[in-house]
Structure 1
Amino acid sequence: MQENLEVRERILTVATTLFHRQGYNETGINQIIKEANVAKASLYYHFATKDDLCIAYLKRRHEVWNDTLQEFIRDKEDKILAVFDFLMEDNEQCNYRGCSFLNLLPEVPPGKKEMLSEVQEHKKGVLAFFEAEIKGSDPDLPFTVYSLFENAIIESQLFQSQEPVLRLKRIVVSLLRANG
Structure 2
Amino acid sequence: MRPVVVLDKIMDTADRLFYGQGFNLTGINQIIEEAGISKPSLYNHFKSKNDLLLAYMDQLYAKWFADLDTYSANFESPLEKVIALFDYRINRQITSGYKGCAWNKIVNEVATSELGVFERASKFKNDLRIRIVNLVGQLNRPIDKLLNDEELVEVIFSELESGVLMSHITKSNDSLENAKNIVRKLV
TM-score (norm 2): 0.88
Aligned twin of 1:75? 74
Contact persistence 2:81–2:135 (CA under 8 A): yes
Give the 5 Å matches for 1:27-46. Answer: 27-46=26-45
Residue 111 (structure 1) aligned with residue 113 (structure 2): yes
| Alpha-carbon separation, structure 1, partners of 2:69 and 2:156 | 18
Aligned twin of 2:104? 102
| Alpha-carbon separation, structure 1, partners of 2:172 and 2:36 | 37
Aligned twin of 1:47? 46
| Alpha-carbon separation, structure 1, partners of 2:87 and 2:117 | 29
Aligned twin of 1:171? 182
Following superposition, the deviation at residue 138 of structure 1 comes to 2.8
Offset from partner CA, 1:1-28 (integer Å, 9 cap, x none): x99x921221111111110101100100
Structure 1, unmatched stretches of 5+, are: none
| Alpha-carbon separation, structure 1, partners of 2:59 and 2:33 | 21
Opposite residue 59 of structure 2, the aligned amino acid is: R
Offset from partner CA, 1:37-91 (integer Å, 9 cap, x none): 1111111110001000000111111111111111111112410011111111112
| Alpha-carbon separation, structure 2, partners of 1:9 and 1:91 | 24
How many residue pairs match? The answer is 174
Opposite residue 32 of structure 1, the aligned amino acid is: I
Aligned twin of 1:6? 5
Q: CA RMSD in A?
A: 1.6
Opposite residue 170 of structure 2, the aligned amino acid is: F
Following superposition, the deviation at residue 143 of structure 1 comes to 2.2
Aligned twin of 1:124? 126
